[in-house]
Amino acid sequence: MNNNFDVIIVGTGAAGLFAGLCLPHDLNILMITKSKIENSDSYLAQGGICTLKSADDFDAFYQDTLKAGRNENNPESVKIMIQQAPQIMKNLMDFGVEFDRDSEGNLAYTREGAHSEFRILHHQDVTGKEITSKLIKQIELCNNVTLVEEATMLDIICNGNKVTGIIMENNGDVVQMNAKVVILATGGVGGLFKHSTNFKHITGDSFAIALKNNIELENINYIQIHPTTLYTTKPGRSFLISESVRGEGAYLLNPDMERFVDELLPRDVVSNAIKKEMDKYNSAHVYLSVMHMDHKQIQTRFPHIYKQCLEEGYDMYKEPVPVVPAQHYLMGGIKSDTYGRTSMENLYAVGETACNGVHGANRLASNSLLESLVFAKRAAGVIKETINNIDFDPKYIDVSGYDKDKLELENKKIIMDEIKRKDGEFYDKWCKS
C-alpha cells in the first residue's frame, strides 16, 4: 500500500464518510476504521435526524437546543447547524437516503424529548443504518479512496504543531502513514463504560492521543447518559430504546407501576430521575410501557425495537419493558472551531470526536447525525480551499516501539483519569455503576 496520501480520515461513521464524500475526488484519501466499516455508532442511531422543517421553526429549534444544552452551547455553532439542515437533508436524499413519508407522500416528522415541535426525519427505527449504509455505498464508488478495516490509529505524527500523518496497526503490522491533512472522526468514549449503547471498540483513542500531543480538549466530562436501554444481565453493548418511543407517547413506570417523571424532559433530567427511582426501590431498572398505545403504530414506527424486545422475552404489547440508563454520547471532545479545525495545524476533528460547542452540556435528541454531517461538510470545504498550499514534508519515525495492546490499556486509563479529574461526582455516579 502507498504510504503517502493527501488526506487521512480516521473513522467511518457518518462524519468520516460524509467528509470523504465532500472532499474533491482528485485527492488521494485513506480511510481507516478500527472494526468493520459499518460498525460505527452512527449506524446504530434509531430515532432520526433533526432538520429545519420550516423557516418559522428556526427560533424554537434554536431555543430547544440551548435549553437541552443548559445554555452552555456555542450559539454560532447552533445557528450554523440549524441553517445548514435543509441542505444536508437534500444531500442525503441525493445519495439515496429514504425517509419515512405519510399517506400523501410527504416527509413524516416525529418528536423526541425536549423538542417543542415535530422536526425529526426518520427511517422506521433504523435511521442511522439507512443513512450510513447509503454513505458507505457512495464511498465504495470513489476510486480515490483507499479503505482499510480493522486498523487502529496508535498515534499521530507531528512536526512541531503541524500534523504530518498517523501511526496505525493493521493485521499485526505497525506502519507510518503520511498525509497533508488528518481528519479525526473516531467517535466517543462508550467502550470505556460497563453499560453503553456504543460499540465496545470505541474507546476514546483520539482523546488520549490528543492529550499526549498537547492538542486541546474541551469538556471531556460532558458525557450523556441515555435514559432507556433494554435491561439485561448479559455482557456487551446495551440495546437502545429510542427516545422517539417516549416522544410518541410511551410511559416510564417505577416498580409500583406509577409514572414518576415527564418523559419528554431532556435526557439528563430523565436519566437522573430514573436513577433516583432505582435507588429508592433498590432496583436494577425501571419500566417503559407502550401498552396504552396503538399497536399498529408501534409495529409501523418501531419494528426493530419491538423485535429485539421480543427476542429478549418481552412482548411490548402485553407488558412493560425493563429499562436502565446507559452511557450514550460525548458532548465534549477535541476542541474545534465551526470548520473542524483543532489547535494543531492541518488536524481536523468532526462528529462526536469534536467539541465545537453545538451541544452544550447535554445534547438535544437527534442532533448528533445532523451535527456530524454539517461540520464534516464544512471541514471538507476548508480543506478543499487550502490543501494545495500545504507543504508536504513528512517526518519519518521509528515505529518499532509501538505496542497496540499496551497503548490501548494506557489510553483507557488516561481518559478515565481525565474524566474523574474534571468531574468526580459524575465519575462516582455513572462510571462505577
Catalytic one of 246, 267, 341, 378: 267
105 band by pLDDT with thresholds 50, 70 and 90: very high
The pLDDT tens digits of the residues spanning 323-354 come to 999 999 999 999 999 999 999 999 999 999 99
pLDDT of residue 5: 97
The pLDDT tens digits of the residues spanning 256-313 come to 999 999 998 988 899 999 999 999 999 999 999 999 998 888 888 899 999 999 999 9
CA dihedral sign of residues 9, 77, 370, 197: positive
pLDDT of residue 235: 80
pLDDT above 60: residue 355? yes
Alpha-carbon distance 176 to 346, whole Å?
17
pLDDT above 90: residue 195? no
Computed over every residue of the chain, the mean pLDDT equals 94
Q: What DSSP string runs through 180-230? A: EEEEE----SGGGSSSBSS-TT---HHHHHHHHTT--EE-TT-EEEEEEEE
Alpha-carbon distance 344 to 354, whole Å?
13
In angstroms and rounded to an integer, the radius of gyration of the C-alpha atoms of the chain is: 21
1 band by pLDDT with thresholds 50, 70 and 90: low
Could you tell me what percent of the chain has a pLDDT over 90? 85
Longest dimension (CA), the chain: 67
Coil, strand or helix: which one is 256?
coil
Region 3-8: what's the mean pLDDT?
Answer: 96
Cell 480538549 belongs to residue? 217
Find, among 145, 312, 157, the residue nearest to 229 by Cα: 312
Region 211-232: what's the mean pLDDT?
Answer: 95
Alpha-carbon distance 323 to 269, whole Å?
16
Region 3-23: what's the mean pLDDT?
Answer: 97
pLDDT above 70: residue 433? no
Q: CB-based contacts of 111: which residues, under 8 Å, 6+ apart? A: 117, 118, 119, 120, 244, 247, 248, 264
DSSP-derived pairing of the beta strands 162-170 and 151-159 = antiparallel
pLDDT above 60: residue 370? yes
Judge whether 335 and 355 are in contact, CB under 8 Å.
Answer: yes
Alpha-carbon distance 402 to 175, whole Å?
10
Query: Cα 154–36–90 angle (5° rounding)?
Result: 105
pLDDT of residue 47: 81
Q: Report in angstroms the alpha-carbon separations of 38 from 57, 128, 148, 221, 424.
A: 33, 10, 12, 27, 34
Region 42-57: what's the mean pLDDT?
Answer: 91
- Comparing 427 with 236, the larger pLDDT belongs to 427
pLDDT of residue 395: 83
Domains contained in the chain, CATH given: 4-222+331-431 (3.50.50.60), 225-327 (3.90.700.10)
Half-sphere CA count of 356, side-chain side, radius 13 A = 29
In the residue annotation, 119 being an active-site residue is answered as: no
CA dihedral sign of residues 430, 355, 342, 176: positive
pLDDT of residue 268: 86
Residue type, 382: V
Q: Which residues pair with 217 in a beta bridge?
A: 334
Region 405-420: what's the mean pLDDT?
Answer: 94
> Can you give the pTM of this predicted structure?
0.91
- Cβ-in-10-Å burial (0-12, 13-18, 19+) of 200 comes to middle
